[in-house]
Structure 1
Amino acid sequence: MTGSELARRLLSEESITSPIVSLYFTVPADPAHLVGLVRRACPDLDHATVDGVRGVVEDLRGTRGGVALFVSPPPGLPRRLSLPCELAESAHVGMRPYVRPLLAALQRCVPYCVAVFDNARAWIGVRREGLLVETAVIRDDAMPYGPAERGVMAGGSRDGYLRRIADRVAETVRKEGVDAVVLGGQAQEVPRLIALLPAVAHEVFAGHIIAEPSAVTPAKLRRLADEVVARWRAATEERLAAAVLDEAAGGTHAVEGLACCLAAAGAGAVRQLLVEDGPEVPGVACESCAALLPDMWPACPACGGRVRPVEDVLEEAVVAVLRGGGQVVPLPPYLLEGVQAAARLRRH
């Protein structure tokens, strides 16, 4: 499930009458401090909801990692999501879950598959929630294991072994919904495995490491794979931002800048929104035509309707795009070159 799909599911749980607390933090954390954070976000919040926040945080003692917590008044059940990265503390109170920090965290914490192999066996695992978990071990049953025989195996047998690894990697990508693939092996063998990857795995191939199952611990393998995926993600984000900004500059079904992106999001015209991973941006929303504006207006300049202030107009744009079936990609601010947002538009 992508970050946009998960956020869309959360937004389907919007409350009609009661506020929802969205709390982001890293455990271990001080429950009293987090409750104080929630109180500052909404001093008038009911005691039952505050107690619900405190109870969940206290139950997390002894665990580690990032947490996204969504709590509504009883009898609503709290929703807790564990994330494989540290999160800056923030609290938000509104009639729906606040999703920008969640999207940004999921963008940074890419779930991936790693396969590391040697002449005898391949180990395949998936990185989720901070752990590298084994999903399969494949052995080359036709491989003679004596050191003197390692270089004289039949090419057909070797290709069959590598093809089994490639097929299992592709199966893992499909079943586990991972976003990237990392391969590890001997320098001369990895290109052969890459060439055999089915399309579903080849499309998300992030890079490779030189390592063998017998010579690397799971912790070291995770660190090496994390570095590969981080470089791949940074390069992918850079290419995406450059492409959308170029399309916007050329007027090719894309726009850039906060005002233009808010207008397109309010009109339901955004297919893909690139949004700066940063602080809240106050603005207003029109209650009549749903226009979103980055400044404080006394009335909607588009229809003259009444406007309401919103604490984060970028969040409003994100929600509008998600509810319209679009994709949202949070990016580091420097990639958007100071424009805060850019968007690809729907082609009608």
Structure 2
Amino acid sequence: MFTDNQLKELAGVTTKSPALTVYLNTDPAMGSAETIKLRLRTLLKEVELEQDVAAVLDYFETHHPFTARGIAVFSCKGDGIFRTISLGVPVRDQVFTGDRFSIKPLADIFDVFGGYGVILVDRQGARVFHFHLGDLVEQEGVLGTLVKHTKRGGASSIAGQRGGTAGQTGYEDEVVERNMKEIAAFAVHFFEEKHIRRILIGGTDDNISMFRAQLPKTWQSLIIGTFAMSMTATHADVLARAMQIGKEAEAARDLKMVRDILSQAGKGVGAEVGLEKTLQAVSQSRVQTLVVTEGFRQPAHRCTGCGRLTVHTNPLCKDCGSKIVPVDDGVELAVNAVMRSGGEVEIVGNNPDFVKAGNIGAILRY
């Protein structure tokens, strides 16, 4: 399983030789393996890195099983690097070359589909799932005490007396509460172990409410949605519903994030928007969260000495005096730099207000 740490490691790779990055939609719904390979050859037709192109084509001819819905390929034959990452979600066909691998599309997929924990609960037990990048990674279950109506022989059926309805209800409530505590403890252990970042809960409204109340507040804060679903649902049904709700929750979160960053930047407090101001903050390692519109690319310039990024065409860096050279995509370099410095990257959908602000911004550390 490809992890966040591995993504950050990939962001930190600077190759001595030109590097090739390929993203390819391999969803069977897009056609046969031969059709997919034809699209790949067309995609690589203008790429001049002959050894890397040959390595990518050879992989798809001899090794790729065509079982995933998307794939990312990172190749730099000059540095002895070749890596593939299979994805459970489709991706847009793209190709990049340069002195770094292009991780922005992969960061986008992580942002939307990474680290989902889903739990189905009823009054007796639960099923928990770990979904990552569109794939089911693991599932487990827990079963508590059977909840059943009890009737004590010879006892009164009058509510409030021994064996009556109230007594039965009290006993059942105790069993359910105990089960929910056990389920919550089991779920927390599972979520911690799998490094879950988002939680979805399925079941009836009452069961969801009881389970939620037993979760520690730190885990409650990661809940992004709830839904009605039977404990016997297939993992395919659970995944489909989870991804649907997850996308809806991400869209709402994106909207709030854009509004917050625009508001903070407008007040001049803790945020910047626009390419030059954001690149400056990135170069100063001040960025806690980089926010970028999906698909946004922009040429820029980079200092060959200190690495400072800028949109300006000055021949020499104002910070260290080294030479400034053009780069094809300053946004990609900004994404890499933020991830290397331990910051986060959020890729958001098209928002008219954010487009006007420059399609890029940053929440600052200081």
Do they fold alike, i.e. is TM over 0.5?
Answer: yes
- The answer to whether the 8 Å contact 2:289/2:343 transfers is yes
After the TM superposition, which of the residue ranges 315-324 and 132-141 deviates more from structure 2?
Answer: 132-141
Q: Deviations over 1:2-39 (max 9, x none)?
A: 986443211333322x2221111121563343244234
Equivalent position of 2:72 in the other structure: 68
Q: 1:244 to 1:200 in 2, by over 3 A?
A: same
For 1:204 and 1:73, how far apart are their aligned partners in 2?
41
Q: 1:111 to 1:174 in 2, by over 3 A?
A: same
When the two structures are superposed, what TM-score results if normalisation uses the length of structure 1?
Answer: 0.87
Q: Deviations over 1:193-237 (max 9, x none)?
A: 1111123421211111122213x3332222222222222222222
Residue 100 (structure 2) aligned to one of 96, 102, 113: 96
Paired residues for 1:222-233 under 5 Å: 222-233=239-250
Q: More deviation in 270-279 or 248-257?
A: 270-279
CA contact (8 A) 1:184 1:190 kept: yes
User: 1:51: which partner in 2?
Assistant: 54
Q: 2:56, 2:134 → 1: CA distance? A: 24
1:342 is aligned to 361
Q: Is the contact made by 1:27 and 1:61 (CA closer than 8 Å) also made in structure 2?
A: no
Which residue of structure 1 lines up, in the alignment, with residue 280 of structure 2?
A: 263
**SS, match of residue 280 in structure 1:** coil
Within a 5 Å distance, the mapping from 1:201-216 to structure 2 comes to 201-214=219-232, 216=233
Deviation at 1:74, TM superposition (A): 6.7
Do the aligned partners of 1:116 and 1:184 also contact (CA within 8 Å) in 2?
A: yes
How far did residue 102 of structure 1 move? 0.9
The alpha-carbon deviation at position 280 of structure 1 amounts to: 2.4
The residue that corresponds to 2:89 in the other structure is: 85
The SS at the match of 2:345 is strand
Contact (CA 8 Å) 1:282, 1:294: kept in 2 or not? Answer: yes
Note if contact 1:162-1:193 (Cα within 8 Å) is conserved in structure 2.
yes
Q: Give me the identity figure in percent.
A: 23
Give secondary structure in 1 for the equivalent of 2:14.
coil
Question: Does the 8 Å CA contact 2:109/2:133 hold for their aligned counterparts?
Answer: no
SS at match of 1:123: strand
Deviation at 1:99, TM superposition (A): 1.0
Deviation by residue 1:76-99 (Cα, 9 ceiling, x = unmatched): 242111223211111112222111
Amino acid at match of 1:27: T
Counterpart CA distance in 2 for 1:315 and 1:114 is 32
Equivalence map 1:181-196=2 (5 Å): 181-196=199-214
Which one-letter code corresponds to 1:72 in the other structure?
A: C
Give the whole-Å Cα distance in 2 for the aligned partners of 1:300 and 1:269: 23
Task: Choose the corresponding residue for 2:194, options 156, 172, 176.
Answer: 176
- Deviations for 1:280-322, whole angstroms, at most 9, x for unmatched residues? 2112212244332235x25247356422111101112222222
Contact 2:288 2:365 in 1 (8 A): yes
Superposition pairs of residues 1-348 of structure 1, within 5 angstroms: 5-16=5-16, 18-27=17-26, 30-40=36-46, 42-43=47-48, 45-47=49-51, 49-58=52-61, 59-73=63-77, 76-132=80-136, 134-144=138-148, 152=169, 153-214=171-232, 216-294=233-311, 297=313, 299-300=315-316, 302=318, 305-334=322-351, 336-338=354-356, 339-347=358-366
TM-score (norm 2): 0.83
Report the 3-state secondary structure (helix = DSSP H, G, I; strand = E; otherwise coil) of the residue aligned with 2:97. strand
In structure 2, give the amino acid aligned to 1:139.
L
Distance in 2 separating the partners of 1:111 and 1:126: 7
Deviations 1:162-200 (A, max 9, x none): 111111221121111122111111222211111111234
Question: Which secondary structure does the structure 1 equivalent of 2:186 belong to?
Answer: helix
Residues of 2 paired with 1:279 and 1:250: CA distance?
A: 25
- Residue 85 of structure 1 aligns with an amino acid whose one-letter code is V
The residue type paired with residue 265 of structure 2 is A
- Match of 2:98, as an amino acid? G
| Gapped regions of structure 1 (runs ≥ 5) | none
Q: Which runs of 5+ in 2 are unaligned?
A: 28-32, 151-164
Instruction: Provide the secondary structure at the position in 1 that maps to 2:205.
Output: coil
Question: Which residue identity lines up with residue 263 of structure 1 in the other structure?
Answer: Q
Q: What is the one-letter code of the residue matched to 1:286?
A: C
Distance in structure 1 (CA, Å) of the matches to 2:172 and 2:324: 74
Q: 1:136 to 1:318 in 2, by over 3 A?
A: same
The 3-state SS of whatever aligns with 1:171 is helix
Shift of 1:333: 2.9
Greater mean deviation of Cα atoms: 130-139 or 92-101? 130-139
Distance 1:176 1:145 in 2: 37
Aligned residues: 338
Residues 79 and 133 of structure 1, relative CA distance in 2, 3 Å threshold: closer
* SS of aligned partner of 1:299: coil
Deviates more, 1:195-204 or 1:252-261: 195-204
